[in-house]
Amino acid sequence: MLLENRVAIVTGAARGIGEQTVYQFAQEGARVAVVDIDMALAEEVAAAIRAKGGHADAFQCDVSKPPLVEQLVKDVVQKYGQLEILVNNAGICPRIPLDEMTEERFDQLINVNLKSVFFLSRAAGNVMKAQHYGRIVNLSSTGGRTGGIINSTVYSATKAGIISMTKAFARQYAPYNILVNSVAPGAVDTRMMALPEEIKHSVIEDAPFKRLADPAEIAHVITFLSSENASWMTGATVDVNGGTVMV
């Protein structure tokens, strides 16, 4: 199994891409910390993994608050004794027109989508440095490449920031055998695609495959980047968008 005996933290793990990622991690032998702000949903996902013979526990965390993410890492290490994998998946994408964006909502997007990646990666990285091994995978977006689609200006800026931050962490952590990469999904069939039907139809029609991605298709790439098979990759952003954007 690709992740046998590894311990992984996955944020935003109760739905969508995060949920599919923890399922795949467990199937590949990892012990998974299912992290979400919605503890009830996280418990359901962890219970489903355990019911199939996997190892998972639910942890509640508001990743926008640095003291909480630092405590999360401590709690996971206390429970499992180690930590090899971090997936920074938690994110929000409120569709807010430019003229309606407030400073409060702007700060919320930065805090949840970008600040969390820095502080959680640093906290997890300090554990991984002592082990001289680690994998960090950050979730960016095609929006980080293009500026996004309808009413997602600040969201897209946070995702572009993740691409840059991934490179910076990769350089810092390479001497410790910690690989840091990101994944930039295109349009995925999750609740973030809550768009008017005509716009969603246009997005699908513009895609070479004429469909939305299944969250599991993104999780496959995250699993690869979290494994030994990605041993010569760091600082990379893998575009998993069905050919919608080719760079």
Active-site residue numbers? 155
Q: Rounded to the nearest 5°, which phi and psi values hold at 101?
A: -70, 125
How crowded is residue 63: how many other Cβ atoms within 10 Å of its Cβ?
A: 25
SS3 of the chain: the string is: CCCCCCEEEECCCCCHHHHHHHHHHHHCCCEEEEEECCHHHHHHHHHHHHHCCCEEEEEECCCCCHHHHHHHHHHHHHHHCCCCEEEECCCCCCCCCHHHCCHHHHHHHHHHHHHHHHHHHHHHHHHHHHHCCEEEEEECCCHHHHCCCCCCHHHHHHHHHHHHHHHHHHHHHHHHCEEEEEEEECCECCHHHCCCHHHHHHHHHHCCCCCCECHHHHHHHHHHHCCHHHCCCCCCEEEECCCCCCC
